[in-house]
Amino acid sequence: MKHKPYPKYKPSGIDWIGDIPEGWGSFQLRRCVQQINNGTTATQLDYVTEFPVTRIETISSGSINFEKVGYIEEADVKKKDILSNGDILLSHINSLVYVGNCAIYNDHRTLVHGMNLLRLILPKCISSEFLIYYLKGSVFKNQIQSIAKHAINQVSLPISALKSLLIAIPNKKEEQEKIANFLDQKTAQIDDLIQKKEEMVKLLKEKRAAVINQAVTKGLDPNAKMKPSGIDWIGDIPGGWDVRRLKFIASTKFSNVDKHAKEEEQPVSLCNYVDVYYNDFIDSNMDFMQATATNDEIRKFALNKGDVIVTKDSESWDDIAIPAYVKEDMHGVLCGYHLAIIQANQNICGEYIFWSFLSQIINYQFQVSATGVTRYGLGKGALDNAMFFAPSKKEQHKIANYLYQKTTEIDGLIQKIESAIDKLREYRSSLITAAVTGKIDVRGAVKC
């Protein structure tokens, strides 16, 4: 739907704001806010007591998340720190990406205002629903970045500078509420579309995983005769297949090449953890980190066509042994630290091993073998002793080619849907900005 501009505009007197509708005014934020308060500095606890208190992560999603609150003792609760409906919370100490995050409190549950979040208490003439849309918009975000004070690991918003920021809003609260009501309705519609498309992506990813699992564990012939594998958790396998430990079909090497450059070593390119984690295939078109290595490391960890690289560490036990396939000989490119190289023997197709690592039934072995508390890792034994399905090499090639074709088709569909999601999010953002800055007139679009 296209929305018309307001009938008449007037100069705001501020260059970067430009013209504003008649009936709107330009004000410093201090004029639109009754109070801006810091939160309590009482000690926050992780266990449940009677009084939840906000934290930075409580508003990171843009709304109040009670699953991420802290807690304080009853003796530390001050009446002035208990939030009221319509209060706005604003992150003023955070990284530059997250500083300025805000959320509105509209809830029946008691919540205490915690530190590092500014509490904006509004006068009756200002709609908190309108102001929260303005504060979440790109115009305000740009202003935030201009006044933020940078420290080593974070930035902060000086309250005096924040109060002096200029905003343009309708003079009448009724008009503010009409704009907020319009945006409530439209953003809900857009969010519903986004959610449906995200569910489609989820289903396609589940289909992708199922296609890989079926091909790697049962083959491509649905009518193939099956035989017992002799392993309970594997069950039946196609006749002519074997089940072999990885150490009998491939060699495994753990890289120790770090990111540090040393004068006495040779310059190399380094294929790192993120290169493998975010890419199914490794080729020479990728932008690799520059590092150095010894001659021995170059001999041991150079990447060649057919190699499979897997992640051997993770912050989560169920997100480990993620593979990538090396599509070509990579002159001067080495496998980096936190990774292992799997090199197939002559009876095994390296690309088939790659797809096997993506199979849920294969990968689960590495998930349960991962050890650690805050970070999980795989030992060489966990990789070497994992069970793999071993059809003939001819059938391995057929499976690998089939999976490349099918997953490419599915990935293309996923990419199109994710592109549509990005466009919906861009439209949502631009619609909010246009409405709260008076570029479009939505007063008659929704009844207040």
Q: What is the pLDDT of residues 273-285, one digit of tens each?
A: 999 999 999 999 9
Question: Tell me, what's the pLDDT at 97?
Answer: 81
| pLDDT tier, 448 (very low <50, low <70, confident <90, very high otherwise) | very low
Domain containing 356 — which CATH number?
3.90.220.20
The token pair at 193 is 């579309």
Are the CB atoms for 288 and 270 separated by under 8 Å?
A: yes
The rounded distance, in Å, linking the Cα atoms of 298 and 261 is 14
Q: Do 160 and 252 have their domain in common? A: no
| pLDDT tier, 447 (very low <50, low <70, confident <90, very high otherwise) | low
In a domain, 220, yes or no: no
In a domain, 373, yes or no: yes
Number of domains in the chain: 2
In a domain, 190, yes or no: no
Q: Do 153 and 256 have their domain in common? A: no
Domain boundary among 171, 193, 220: 171
Q: What is the dihedral of CA 400, 403, 405, 410, to 10 degrees?
A: -160
Q: pLDDT tens, 82-139?
A: 999 999 999 999 888 889 999 999 999 999 999 999 999 999 999 999 999 999 988 8
Question: Tell me, what's the pLDDT at 151?
Answer: 86
Q: Is pLDDT of 13 > 90?
A: no
Q: Nearest CA to 338 among 282, 382, 273?
A: 273
In a domain, 287, yes or no: yes
In a domain, 101, yes or no: yes
Q: Do 167 and 248 have their domain in common? A: no
Q: Is pLDDT of 312 > 70?
A: yes
Report DSSP letters for 63-97, one per residue.
Answer: S--GGG-EEE-GGG--GGGB--TTEEEEE-EE-TT
Helix (H) or strand (E) holding 40: none
The rounded distance, in Å, linking the Cα atoms of 312 and 252 is 11
What are residue 253's DSSP bridge partners? 341
Q: pLDDT tens, 358-400?
A: 999 999 999 999 999 889 999 999 999 999 999 999 999 999 9
In a domain, 194, yes or no: no
The rounded distance, in Å, linking the Cα atoms of 217 and 225 is 13
Q: Is pLDDT of 441 > 90?
A: yes
Q: Nearest CA to 167 among 440, 434, 436?
A: 436
Question: Tell me, what's the pLDDT at 260?
Answer: 86
Q: Do 19 and 163 have their domain in common? A: yes
The token pair at 367 is 């998930």
Q: What percent of the chain has pLDDT over 70?
A: 99
Degrees (nearest 5) of the Cα angle 179, 185, 186?
A: 85
Q: Do 253 and 163 have their domain in common? A: no
Mean pLDDT, the chain, rounded, equals 94
Domain boundary among 141, 171, 201: 171
Q: Are strands 70-72 and 51-53 parallel, antiparallel or unpaired?
A: antiparallel
Residues 6+ apart with CB under 8 A from 178: 442, 443, 446, 448
Domain boundary among 390, 420, 437: 390
Q: pLDDT tens, 185-197?
A: 999 999 999 999 9
| pLDDT tier, 446 (very low <50, low <70, confident <90, very high otherwise) | low
In a domain, 223, yes or no: no
Q: Do 130 and 276 have their domain in common? A: no
Q: Do 29 and 143 have their domain in common? A: yes
In a domain, 40, yes or no: yes
Q: pLDDT tens, 238-267?
A: 999 999 999 999 999 999 999 888 889 999
Q: Is pLDDT of 226 > 80?
A: yes
What is the residue range of 313's domain?
A: 242-390
Q: Choose the weakest-confidence range: 145-159, 278-292, 388-402, 413-427.
A: 145-159
Question: Quick one: average pLDDT of 319-337?
Answer: 95
Q: Is pLDDT of 1 > 70?
A: no
Question: Tell me, what's the pLDDT at 318?
Answer: 92
Question: Tell me, what's the pLDDT at 401?
Answer: 98
Degrees (nearest 5) of the Cα angle 281, 352, 367?
A: 80
Q: pLDDT tens, 202-212?
A: 999 999 999 99
Residues 6+ apart with CB under 8 A from 236: 226, 227, 228, 229
Are the CB atoms for 126 and 177 separated by under 8 Å?
A: no
Q: Do 163 and 64 have their domain in common? A: yes
Q: Nearest CA to 55 among 392, 284, 45, 318?
A: 45
